[in-house]
């Protein structure tokens, strides 16, 4: 009994020593290092832009630089024909006022006849005044007085006819505006031909604000657009700009609707205008 107990104690001591040896053997391996903690970086703040959305209609807009001119012109012509052009007193693009002399026919011979008729008429008026007094006094018969009346009337009609013919040799501006057309066909030949009555000699743009045509002289700012892509019914906003294309301070803007294209120009009979593209009702 004692012997068994002693064996158990020795076995227990041996087991304890063996366990201690195993635990002490762990110290032969290097100790594990603690893992390094990465440095924390503060993130940059994110900025957000906000825009309050409102319900509206999407619009595609383009801009261009061009000229605006009224659609209707005032044509000027000589009411009677037969004369030859003597002088043109205006140039294309010149701004004129109503009453300015535009053209003049050769009227040297007619001027002499007109002045002589004026003299004869003035003399006849003085003669008739004397004869009228004589008739009232009874010293002139009724038949003689009637002849005096007819002579005065004849002198007056002769004077008025020559006066009108003389005045018709000079063409005056009936409106103020810009000269946009000059008929030079009567000055091309060495021997100028005679004027045809009623043929347009000069056209003046009176800058009618109601109907205008727009001519773009540069491509539009967006390369995908050309002036031909405007359509009837679309809206144009017209603003006056300087030679550099910058809006003139204080310049008034006008909004209009396109009512026609270059086909309209043929209907007006203004064949000399070849650049018109869009017609706009202001």
- Least Cα distance to 107 among 89, 86, 88 occurs for 86
Domain ranges, ordered by start, for the chain: 107-168
Residue 276 above 70 pLDDT?
Answer: no
Burial class (CB in 10 A: 0-12, 13-18, 19+), 105: buried
- pLDDT given for residue 33 in this prediction: 65
Beta strands in 100-205 (DSSP E): 101-105, 170-172, 177-182, 200-205
- pLDDT given for residue 171 in this prediction: 94
**CB–CB of 90/105 below 8 Å?**
no
Residue 170 above 80 pLDDT?
Answer: yes
Q: Tell me which CATH code domain 107-168 carries.
A: 1.10.287
In the structure, what pLDDT confidence band is assigned to residue 61 with cuts at 50, 70 and 90? low
| pTM (predicted TM-score) | 0.50
HSE-up (13 A, CA, CB side) for residue 57: 3
In the structure, what pLDDT confidence band is assigned to residue 221 with cuts at 50, 70 and 90? very low
Taking residues 235-259, report their average pLDDT.
70
Mean pLDDT of the chain: 73
Taking residues 144-151, report their average pLDDT.
94
């Amino acid at each position: 009994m004692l012997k068994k107990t002693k064996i158990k104690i020795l076995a227990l001591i041996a087991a304890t020593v063996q366990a201690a040896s195993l635990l002490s053997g762990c110290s032969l391996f290097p100790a594990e290092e603690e893992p390094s903690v990465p440095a924390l970086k503060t993130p940059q703040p994110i900025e957000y832009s906000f825009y309050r959305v409102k319900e509206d209609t999407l619009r595609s807009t383009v801009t261009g630089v061009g000229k605006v001119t009224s659609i209707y012109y005032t044509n000027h012509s000589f009411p009677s024909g037969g004369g030859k052009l003597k002088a043109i007193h205006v140039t294309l693009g010149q701004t004129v006022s109503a009453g300015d002399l535009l053209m003049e026919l050769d009227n040297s011979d007619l001027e002499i006849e007109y002045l002589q008729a004026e003299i004869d008429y003035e003399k006849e008026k003085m003669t008739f005044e004397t004869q009228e007094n004589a008739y009232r006094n009874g010293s002139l018969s009724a038949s003689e007085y009637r002849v005096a009346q007819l002579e005065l009337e004849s002198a007056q009609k002769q004077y008025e006819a020559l006066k009108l013919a003389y005045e018709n040799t000079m063409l005056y501006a009936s409106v103020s505006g810009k000269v946009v057309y000059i008929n030079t066909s009567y000055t091309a030949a060495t021997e100028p031909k005679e004027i045809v009555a009623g043929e347009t000699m000069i056209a003046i743009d009176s800058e009618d604000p109601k109907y205008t045509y727009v001519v773009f002289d540069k491509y539009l700012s967006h390369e995908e657009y050309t002036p031909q892509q405007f359509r009837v019914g679309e809206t144009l906003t017209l603003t006056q700009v300087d030679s550099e294309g910058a809006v003139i301070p204080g310049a008034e803007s006008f909004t209009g609707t396109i009512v026609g294209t270059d086909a309209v120009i043929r209907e007006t009979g203004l064949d000399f205008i070849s650049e018109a593209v869009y017609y706009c009702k202001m």
